[in-house]
Structure 1
Amino acid sequence: MKKVCALIGKYFGVLAVIFLIIGMTLPTSFSWVLGKVGGVSVLSVLLGIIMFGMGMTMSVHDFALVLKRPKDVFFGACAQYLVMPFLAYVLSTLFHLDPALTVGVVLVGTCPGGTSSNVITFMSKGDVPLSVTMTSVSTLISPIMTPLLTYLIIGQRISFDPVGMFLSILQIVIVPIALGLVVKSFLPKLADTATDYLPAVSSLAISFLIAGIIGASRDAILNSSGIILLVVILHNCLGYALGFFIGHLCGMSWKKMVALSIEVGMQNSGLATGLAKAHFASLPMAGVPGAVFSAWHNISGAVLAYLYVNYLNKRFDSNYEADQKAAAVSPTAAH
């Protein structure tokens, strides 16, 4: 069972694409994702499970870097909440997106970084502690930043309740993460056992969301002439590029720039999908950019990691040779 779960977590990008295809070809197969059981939203439960799993993998040590390297974390948080919201505004304006798609793209931009970024940073030989800390910090401040930035970008054109979104993020994100941290603190053996299965559970939950949202909006997607995919690809890839550039401007080392690039470009698109469904129910297509982004950024992240490891690190990282020698002496030294 552990081996199966490990494979599911490892190949989440492939799984996400498969479920996206299922949503397009069998649109009603995951319609239950958008329904309710006993008056409780299934989608919110799935997001809660994902966030609980994130909490189970976190610890107070993840925030120690805030005190040790406050400058790096500060620049990272600023980049996280400046670059992607800015790109969301520019792309939605440039491509004259309709209100529903604008909402979806903006929500992807204003949500915090996703946990997939930590895995991709590790695969890319970037600064993993910085990546983990940035994800944790951006997630914890998301109840304030996501509604605020969403309101600033679209609040004058599309009506929604930022206070209600704040409360939703507390319920969907902060409470489950806090519960996960509590379990890890007081039941460490249970938490250690659960970590073998949590990546697979989270991967499946996000895949279900993708299939449900894509299936519900299939006809509209087919009539969009590929504009959704194009905007999602540009949003993600420009996020990588600008994140790296900001790291360079801030004088960061190569490993830090790699981490910042990935952290900025990869978003918690599952949360964006959930918020779109909860707060923009009258705009069904609002959840589509988040669903497509979930599938795409795992593919692009894997490709980016391959480029970093096989070409870019070797050529541009001044500490590459030293890290290789350290790794040869101690396999864990380079990390």
Structure 2
Amino acid sequence: MKKIGKIATFLSTNIGLIIIICSAIAFWKPETISWATQYTTIFLGVAMFGMGLTIKPADFKAILQRPKGILLGALAQFTIMPLVAFFLCKVLHLPTDIAVGVILVGCCPGGTASNVITYIAGGDVALSVGMTIVSTLLAPILTPALTYGLAGAWVEVSFLAMVLSVVKVVLIPVLIGIVLNAIFSKWVEAVKPVLPLISVVAIVMIIAGIVAVNKEKLLTTGLLTLTVVILHNVFGMALGFVVAKVFKFNYEQTTAIAIEVGMQNSGLAVSLATANFAANPLATLPGAIFSVWHNIAGSIFASVRRRKKNPVSPAENVAVEA
């Protein structure tokens, strides 16, 4: 189990690279993984179930004990990212399909990858986990409501259908995981090292499948979508950082909030696009590309923040050069 845990940790911390490799294979040989798109909802549900298994009742107590940072993070998550998405879509005059996908990404809760990136950056991991939990539990209402209000400028959005989609693929799996963790805590503790591996596999399958079935569309719209995704992610992280600074949070908390705001549950965006916008097939692309990019950008940001927190002294530089 320890070996599996080490493998899971390695894959979790290098998920951006794993996604790039698997996406490249999917692009080169689409037939090997295109079947995965039929099971997008199941894969995301498995990932959310894995997240639920990591949540303990004590985590909710911790949320109540430090509500300021967690509530600010959740508020920033559901204001900065949706509004930045809407702004970019309008300013860049994006095609309808791409615009819907970008707004979907912006309206989703924080992704679990943010917790790993926060850990790497030396940020406040407990705060990061708390923000992810709160934003995920708020998602069944806020994600459909925000998408309805913002994406409605481009396409007709069924609020109820989206609520049911989020409940099915996010809320129910997470709640089942929480309940099982509370009842069978010893069993869950024993299999916990495997959980990150399951989540990584599920997310990689979702993204690789989307790349495989959209190979031709990526060749024509991939650069535009990548540009928008990069701007969306960078603006989100930067504004999250500024908000945390304005409210005078410390280094660790500021790092966690910036990462949490900039990193979305893009797998959910892909799933919602597949389930609710079948008439707009390109709407899945922003979520798929965001999944790749936000891990790369998050890792770079984490590296910069880690160096700032633990600068290398001149003596250490000499030792390294020697």
Q: Do Structure 1 and Structure 2 share a fold, with TM-score over 0.5? A: yes
Deviation at 1:201, TM superposition (A): 1.2
Deviation at 1:160, TM superposition (A): 2.1
1:141 counterpart SS class = helix
Q: What is the match of residue 118 of structure 1? A: 115
Q: Does residue 1:34 correspond to 2:37, yes or no?
A: yes
Deviation at 1:28, TM superposition (A): 2.5
Deviation at 1:86, TM superposition (A): 0.8
Deviation at 1:198, TM superposition (A): 1.2
Q: What is the match of residue 267 of structure 2? A: 270
Post-superposition, which runs of at least 4 consecutive aligned residues in structure 1 deviate over 3 A? Answer: 3-6
The answer to whether the Cα contact below 8 Å between 2:147 and 2:157 also exists between their aligned partners in 1 is no
Deviations 1:207-264 (A, max 9, x none): 1111111111111111126111111111111111000000111221221111100000
Q: What is the match of residue 184 of structure 1? A: 181
RMSD over aligned Cα atoms: 1.4
Q: What is the match of residue 218 of structure 1? A: 215
Match of 2:89 among 84, 87, 92: 92
Match of 1:261 among 254, 258, 264: 258
Match of 2:15 among 12, 23, 32: 12
Structure 2 distance, partners of 1:65, 1:225, is 42
The answer to whether the Cα contact below 8 Å between 1:48 and 1:172 also exists between their aligned partners in 2 is yes
One-letter identity of the residue aligned with 1:230: T
Structure 2 distance, partners of 1:30, 1:271, is 19
Structure 2 distance, partners of 1:291, 1:225, is 11
Deviation at 1:314, TM superposition (A): 4.6
Deviation at 1:6, TM superposition (A): 3.4
Q: Does residue 1:247 correspond to 2:244, yes or no?
A: yes
Q: Does residue 1:82 correspond to 2:85, yes or no?
A: no
Q: Does residue 1:150 correspond to 2:153, yes or no?
A: no
TM-score, normalised with respect to structure 1: 0.89
2:154 counterpart SS class = coil
Structure 2 distance, partners of 1:23, 1:283, is 21
Sequence identity percentage: 41
Deviation at 1:94, TM superposition (A): 1.8
Deviation at 1:153, TM superposition (A): 0.5
The answer to whether the Cα contact below 8 Å between 2:12 and 2:116 also exists between their aligned partners in 1 is no
TM-score, normalised with respect to structure 2: 0.92
Deviation at 1:70, TM superposition (A): 1.9
Q: Does residue 1:136 correspond to 2:133, yes or no?
A: yes
Unpaired runs of 5+ residues, structure 1, are 36-41, 316-335
Deviations 1:18-65 (A, max 9, x none): 122122212232121222xxxxxx111111100000000111222223
Match of 1:24 among 27, 30, 42: 27
One-letter identity of the residue aligned with 1:276: A
One-letter identity of the residue aligned with 1:313: K
Please state which structure has a larger fraction of its residues in helix. Answer: 2
1:267 counterpart SS class = coil
Unpaired runs of 5+ residues, structure 2, are 312-322
Q: What is the match of residue 319 of structure 2? A: none
1:91 counterpart SS class = helix
